[in-house]
Amino acid sequence: MTFTGWRTISPARPDAAMSTITPQILLRAYAAGIFPMAESAEDNALYWVEPEERGIIPLDGLKISHSLRKCVRRRPFEIKIDHDFPAVIAQCAARAPGRNSTWINARIVALYSQLHRMGCCHSVECWQEGTLVGGLYGVRIGAVFFGESMFSRVTDASKVALVHLVARLNFGGFKLLDAQFVNPHLERLGAVQMPKTRYHQMMEPLLSLEADFFAFDQDAEPEAVLAWAGMRR
């Protein structure tokens, strides 16, 4: 879940056929444990990436701090699902204080927008007084959710979106939340790393399972959200 912009990637494999990549090819790539990134938003080239150490957020291991629990209970945001996916991915790709560029270029925006229209890519959004102030998006295959990127324009918006995402995934029968890479921010929320061989052993059997991204309908009920996001299996 490359939530905070660019990271040094190793290994990264340029793909000569990226000009003909389709949403179907992209889904097959995720099922094989690889995903595309760009050097920057201005660079039109894409690269297939397969990290040696894969980041995940255990669905039974999300760390919700006391202050974050208070924020969820206070309900400063209206949570919406797939309400304005184009705006979410645009905000994830936008420059922000401390982030002059991102790995999301126009080709990535187009590809994931197609996946969204196919029902395979979703956004969790935080709205405040009619304005989108935070959110995240990712790809869904079987019982796996592959987190892609998140953004926040006000304090805690992206964290609250993540709490709501984990509640939704647990309720809907998902088994894995792929974070792609781990950084200190995600570590504080419970993200861990594992070798790619172990990741494949965990991920691949889950792709054929059924899970329901839309089963959860309690985003307006903070105690239900916290219970499902903080559950221990």
Of 192, 168, 197, give the one whose Cα is nearest residue 182: 192
DSSP string, 57-112: --TT-----HHHHHHHHH--SEEEESSSHHHHHHHHHS-BTTBS--S--HHHHHHH
Question: What's the pTM value of the predicted model, to 2 decimals?
Answer: 0.90
pLDDT value for 86: 97
pLDDT value for 20: 76
Pairing of strands 176-180, 144-152: parallel
pLDDT value for 98: 59
Mean pLDDT of residues grouped by 10 in the chain (233 residues)?
A: 37 47 94 92 86 96 96 97 98 75 87 97 98 98 97 96 98 97 92 97 98 98 96 58
